[in-house]
Structure 1
């Protein structure tokens, strides 16, 4: 009975129509509110980390982010596949809820906050659903620009949020920041529930779910059947591994090891966000001028440069330069996501984006372990990883070749599947 009641509740939630026709603007609001709430907590989290784990700050930061990333890797294919079956709205509601769930825990107990933050990775993988939603409501010509807008919106949420969170913390205390972040995240959940319309028509949804769709390791093995997607996934791993490590450790590193104050760190994050917005808004134009493959390579070269700067720099101005170059390199992931979307149809878009997000989750799990120290070694390791990614990305076919390869591969796959269905005597 409880199971039937839960199913009825989920169906009811998914049936709420939302406001207007589904469009990219709906998910842009979701992304902005989600990361604005977490951006408010940037400085309070660093202070809480230092207070809770004074002797093992970087180690525990890496552990929390690592567990969360590994759980995201394990669950992302399932989330993507479920969105292909039950629609994007229901899964977006679930993932946004679990992403925001740890925020109010900061007022209860620091240990509970970090524990729930780690566990929230099980369902806190909203980006796979967001990218699938964007693919549902855009044409392939519009998709690159739309992915750039999603990435720019993520950056926009960080323009004032860290500085605002730090200001509120100094004036009114950390609990006030947590309260405001909780209200923002709750508003986001309500917005998804009442305002976001479903983007995936029932007629193009997948018929059912199999364990093969949900198993992240089988998903990785299936990638090998298409050499272009396999190559892209390896490239994603090579550049996201150091990127995830930086994301989890660099703010704390700059504050605790390089002497950045909260105000200066907030200014750096804001400036980086503005640069990131600018280049991601321009992503559609960049791809039109130089192509998707060269856009990916451009982002990789910029990431390589900023990792080298972090590795050899010992002055604040070098950290500022590295941060700004890092902001410009943020075009890489949306460019890859747009490229990958060429290989999937509407009914499998969630599964494909879930696979890429799963790879991101794996890097989010392993990256913090690599960057749990403050020495130059991890940054040089990251630079070598990105350099290998550049070499591999050079073998990715351009867009026209990729489309042709996809059509040939789909035809071959259909023939193989038909042969497998013929019973043997």
Structure 2
């Protein structure tokens, strides 16, 4: 481990206000993103004369371009934050997102909406910079707990954003975009006056294109065997996660006959359980078990949760799997903590950008993998009817991630 990665020269007390801002930043970002989730497919549908099948295909293309922009731009923004500091990247992203949501609110056709979605993928790539900021201001042994607490913002945004977007969309389908623009703009103003820089000038690294591109980012992750193994485990874990946004609604409707209200309530329960784990459980569990064992526990719980989802013959039994699945969140915070200890202070942005690119790769592959699996196993030509097949596949991917992470970290623990 780099010596720079294991020290934290800035007193945590001096940065408590900055950590609060980062929490608020992520919360508002997730709210803004969540607000448009329930309305964007409807808006697309309106542009294609309410042709649902065509709208679904276009929505899939929109999701792919968003993930592609994340894949390309996350390492660039991460490297820029290592060179110029975290503050300017975070602030420019907030104001850029605000302008982009205005563009989508005014979009007269699908082409402009597509452009807006691409820009959103670029500006949302700064989330990797936010995680680098946390690594800057938090001691290595405290990072897992801090990443968990910051993860509460994701859960809260996941609960409140779609609900607010649905309410606003009933008034006007463009209104959620205006609300998202306002949230991002207020967030930018808030940071402009409050957010301090976390990366001192003496700890910054020169910007290099060879490392600030997706290929260079992946090569960076291969620079350390433990980092490479954890990154590969992260890829399979993120790929497994894509099953939820890809097939959950289709699965719940097909197998349990749920209406939109039940689906929404279930998603809210998912977010609530995730918040409890992220905010209250990660710190004590990591302190008790250590980061490596906490990582393993999270992956096992995630795999078990997916098995419950796939096997549950009733909606009530499906709900039993939600708190089990929520414990999977432990692994994400533990992985973040382990990887940040493997690179120097002036490489934290590069690390987070590269990690975001890995996640984006999974988001490009996952929707096709899980929707095709679901369609095959409920189709007429399936060797047996198994609507839960995508969840079994996701569980297997988590067990593969567990095996890779165990091997990657074995040398670290015996060194």
TM bucket normalised to smaller: 0.7 to 0.9
* Whole-angstrom distance in 2 between the partners of 1:314 and 1:117: 37
Aligned partners of 2:164, 2:120: CA distance in 1, in Å? Answer: 25
* 1:349 Cα offset (Å): 1.1
2:242 aligned to which of 241, 244, 268: 244
Q: Are the aligned partners of 1:61 and 1:248 in contact in 2 as well (CA < 8 Å)?
A: no
Q: CA deviation at 1:369?
A: 2.4
Matches of 1:251 and 1:101, distance apart in 2: 31
2:390 corresponds, among 338, 354, 378, to 378
1:30 aligns with 2:28: no
CA spacing shift, 1:386–1:287, aligned 2, 3 Å? same
Aligned residue in 1 for 2:80: 82
Shift of 1:216: 1.8
Q: Determine the C-alpha separation between the residues in 1 that align with 2:407 and 2:197.
A: 37
Per-residue deviation, 1:45: 3.1
Map 1:295-306; keep pairs closer than 5 Å. Answer: 295-306=294-305
The equivalent residue for 1:339 is 338
Q: Which residue number corresponds to residue 163 of structure 2?
A: 163
| TM-score between the two structures when normalised by the length of structure 2 | 0.83
Aligned positions of 1:109-148 closer than 5 A: 109=108, 111=110, 112-148=112-148
Contact 1:89 1:196 in 2 (8 A): yes
Corresponding residue number in structure 2 for 1:4: none
Q: Partners in 1 of 2:256 and 2:68 — Cα distance? A: 29
- For structure 2, list consecutive stretches of 5 or more residues without a partner in the other structure: 1-13, 376-386
Unaligned ranges ≥5, structure 1: 1-18, 406-425
Q: Do the aligned partners of 1:246 and 1:371 also contact (CA within 8 Å) in 2?
A: no
Once the two structures are TM-superposed, the CA of residue 29 in structure 1 deviates from its matched residue by: 0.6
Equivalenced residue count is 383
C-alpha distance in structure 1 between counterparts of 2:309 and 2:54, whole Å: 22
Change in 2 beyond 3 A, CA 1:225/1:337:
same
The answer to whether the Cα contact below 8 Å between 1:99 and 1:121 also exists between their aligned partners in 2 is no
Contact 2:239 2:362 in 1 (8 A): yes
Distance 1:262 1:107 in 2: 28
Distance 1:73 1:229, change over 3 A: same
In the alignment, what sits opposite 2:42? 47
Rounded Cα–Cα distance in structure 2 between residues aligned with 1:141 and 1:54: 50
Task: Report the CA distance between 1:69 and its aligned residue.
Answer: 1.5
Does the alignment pair 1:65 with 2:63?
yes
Question: Can you list the C-alpha shifts for 1:323-350, whole angstroms capped at 9, x where unaligned?
Answer: 4443332232222111101112221111
Q: Secondary structure at the match of 1:125?
A: helix
1:158 is paired with a residue whose SS is: helix
1:62–1:371: 8 Å Cα contact kept in structure 2? no
SS in 2 for 1:372: helix
Q: Describe the SS at the equivalent of 1:395.
A: helix
Q: Which moved more, 1:72-81 or 1:158-167?
A: 158-167
Offset of residue 259 of structure 1: 4.0
Instruction: Indicate if the aligned counterparts of 1:67 and 1:119 stay in contact, CA closer than 8 A.
Output: no
CA distance in 2, matches of 1:257, 1:101: 41
Give the Cα separation in 2 of the matches to 1:295 and 1:21: 26
What is the correspondence of 1:394-405 to structure 2 with a 5 Å cutoff? 394-397=406-409, 402=412
Task: State the distance in 2 between where 1:304 and 1:137 align.
Answer: 33
Aligned to 1:408: none
